[in-house]
Structure 1
Amino acid sequence: MSLILTFLGKGGTGRTTIAIAAAKKLAAQGKRVLLAGQDGSPAFGFMVGAALSADPQQISPNLDVVQLQSTVLLERAWEELKAQEAKYLRSPFLKGVFGQELGILPGMDTALALNALREYDGSDRYDVIVYDGDGDQTTLRMLGMPEIASWYARRFRTVFTDSDFYRAVSPFIQPVAAAVLNVNWSGDLFSQPAAQEATGLLEQGKAAVANPQRVMAYVVTTEDEPAIATAKYLWGSAQQINLTVGGVIVNQAHEASAVSAEFAPLPISTVPRYSGQDWQPIIDALPNFAQPEPAPRPMAVNVAEKKVALFLPWFDKKEVKLTQYGPEVTVEVGDQRHNIPLPPELKGKQVTGAKFQDGYLIISF
């Protein structure tokens, strides 16, 4: 398994420059590194200094680079989908549709990128995967996709199995499955191998995002006020998906003192402007990603006191909306809505109170 490292910040703050420098720094430390770029234009290859393709290629010792190309990823994912269909259906009907003729719908880019990162992570070829994505809410929604998809699957499974429709058709599921599928399905439809495999992947994704040893983000900003405001917003939004932000990188900085107060208690690193030739000054100024400084965790659970504390820096309490529908507790902050992954001891319990204190939303059950 790999550490997936990504960078958040306003466009134009130099996220790609920082991502490339971070990959070079980690490779120089002896880590096996994959730099994965979401930008499909020639600009990414120009900055890396190599002609890139949809497959990883080595550009220096310990450092591979891949340019994630959605059309190629879709073709490969479609072939895997057809293989899975053939595994469970006696007469597959997707075999006449070819991945090469499929177009990219809005939102598919990030889903395909997330699946590619999952596959590279599972290959055991890399110690670190540096992901250079959009660096905004799109990246956060991508990393939050396993939690969101898991919620949809969990809630709609409950609604479906409790419905009169499911009770009416459930006696016919086993004989129909035996007639159409090449496996003998019986019992709960959602406990079958395909459903269990999908659920397992979602749970692995959720656990990875919540573990700073597996997924970590850094906020990139300049001394420009709009860039600082965007960085603070993305820092707070990252907490919503349980993603740890390890620190702030101030690019093209003159001094860190003015920015430090805006991001306390995160560690601050200042890096000089990239000259277009020498990477070493930036590499030397970057934090030690292999051994990051302690950072506030997005969520802390105290089962004994029946409390959950969510760290939501730089959001005002008026921007925080807490709701509970049935067993689900949902927090809405800014443009991000998040269902809190409660431990078994607190699941299904009613919220008895909530308060916003020192950047933390403290929920009592």
Structure 2
Amino acid sequence: MALILTFLGKGGSGCSTVAIAAAKKLAAGGSRVLFLSQDASPVLQKLWGTTLEGTPTDIEPNLKGMALQSAQMLSKRWEDVKDLESQYLRSPTLKNVYGQELGVLPGMDGALALDALREYEESKEYDVIVYDGDSASSTLRMFSIPEIMSWYVRRFQEVLMESDVGKTLAPFVQPITSAVLNVSWSADDLKDTPANDILKSGKAALADPNRVAAYLVTTGDPTAIAASKYYWGGAQQVGLSVRGVIVNQGQTASLAEEFDPLNLSSVPKMESSNWQPLMESLPQFLGDSQAPKPLIVDVANRQVKVFLPGFDKKQVKLTQYGPELTIEAGDQRRNVELPPSLAGQSVKGAKFQNSYLIVSL
């Protein structure tokens, strides 16, 4: 399995430069690396010294690069949808709608990029995939898709099946699917669809810091530091593990307390397109991660611990409307699915301590 690596920081802090240096360092060390970028600006092309194409293209030994082109990816995925429809539906209806006609709606870029990451990770052609998003906020939104979508699927399936409409229609699912589709499904079969399997695998990958991980990138500027801490907390909310901090042209000693317990690395300013000093100053990205876990469910002590650095207790809101816990921090909302022994239990207490929200059930 490939390690998916991304970098989060305020615009202008050097995330793209660090991402390129990381890709070069890993490739020079013998890893097969794919660099994926959603930045279509000329800045990235200037940094690379070449134009990234819409398909993986050789840049250096062990290193390929690709510019994610949403319109092109949408056309390809639409053809996949049409193939899937013709496979299951007896009378396909989408055959006269062409992917080349479709425009990219807001929010599609992230979903298409995440699907590309999944595709290239499953290809087993790469050891590391370095993802350079167009902003930290959009990157976090992208990585939150599996968790959020799985919640919608899970909860609305429950609502439908428990409703009078669901109970009435359940006996007719099998004969209706047999008549309309090329398969025969029961109501229970609808819970285990390929889409659900993809969401489950996405959540499992994100929960493993040795498969998907991020590094914060900051300068010594106070606004950049504050932004990095905010993105750190946002990453925890979506389940993305942050392994460390890279300080661009700054001192690490003064920031150690700000980002405790993460390890900090300092990189120098790049001079005359000489990448070697940057590459040598970067941390070792491979190996087991020691990053703090975003979520710990302690069944024995009936506690849920959520690591939320960058936020204080006034910015964190805990609610419980259903069998799950809902945690709001910043502009992120996370629903924590509890194990059966804790599901549905009322919250007995909560406290914010050492950047952890500790909930007792």
Which of the five TM-score ranges fits, normalised by the shorter chain? over 0.9
Q: Which residue of 1 aligns with 2:55?
A: 55
2:138, 2:204 → 1: CA distance?
20
CA contact (8 A) 1:37 1:67 kept: yes
2:294, 2:223 → 1: CA distance?
24
CA contact (8 A) 2:241 2:292 kept: yes
1:314: how far off? 2.6
Q: Which residue of 2 aligns with 1:217?
A: 214
Residue type matched to 2:162 in 1? Answer: D
Compute the TM-score of the two structures, normalised by the length of structure 1: 0.96
The SS at the match of 1:5 is strand
Q: Which residue of 1 aligns with 2:45?
A: 45
Q: Give CA deviations for 1:342-363 in whole Å, capped at 9, x if unaligned.
A: 2343223222211111111111
Q: Which residue of 1 aligns with 2:261?
A: 265
| Residues 300, 187 of structure 1: alpha-carbon distance in 2 compared, 3 angstrom cutoff | closer
Compute the TM-score of the two structures, normalised by the length of structure 2: 0.97
CA contact (8 A) 2:240 2:294 kept: yes
1:3, 1:282 → 2: CA distance?
21
* 1:11-50 mapped onto 2 (5 Å cutoff): 11-50=11-50
Q: Which residue of 2 aligns with 1:340?
A: 336
Moved more, 98-107 or 51-60: 51-60
1:257: how far off? 2.1
Residue type matched to 2:201 in 1? Answer: Q
- The answer to whether the aligner puts 1:202 opposite 2:178 as a matched pair is no
CA contact (8 A) 1:246 1:292 kept: no
CA contact (8 A) 1:267 1:293 kept: no
Residue type matched to 2:49 in 1? Answer: G
Give the total of aligned pairs: 361
Residue type matched to 1:99 in 2? Answer: G
2:153, 2:83 → 1: CA distance?
23
CA contact (8 A) 1:9 1:15 kept: yes
1:48: how far off? 1.4
Q: Which residue of 2 aligns with 1:252?
A: 249
Q: Give CA deviations for 1:178-229 in whole Å, capped at 9, x if unaligned.
A: 22111122343524xxx52111110110111110010000000111111111
CA contact (8 A) 2:210 2:287 kept: no
Moved more, 128-137 or 59-68: 128-137
CA contact (8 A) 2:209 2:289 kept: no
- The answer to whether the aligner puts 1:119 opposite 2:119 as a matched pair is yes
1:166: how far off? 1.8
1:293: how far off? 5.9
Q: Which residue of 1 aligns with 2:2?
A: 2
Match of 2:310 among 285, 310, 314: 314
Moved more, 46-55 or 120-129: 46-55
Flag structure 2 segments of 5+ consecutive residues without an equivalent: none
CA contact (8 A) 2:37 2:132 kept: yes
| Residues 19, 188 of structure 1: alpha-carbon distance in 2 compared, 3 angstrom cutoff | same
1:344, 1:276 → 2: CA distance?
59
Match of 1:230 among 221, 227, 231: 227
CA contact (8 A) 2:210 2:288 kept: no
1:42: how far off? 3.3
Q: What is the alpha-carbon root mean square deviation over aligned residues? A: 1.4
* 1:154-303 mapped onto 2 (5 Å cutoff): 154-188=154-188, 190-191=190-191, 195-253=192-250, 255-291=251-287, 294-303=290-299
Residue type matched to 2:284 in 1? Answer: N
1:64: how far off? 0.7
Flag structure 1 segments of 5+ consecutive residues without an equivalent: none
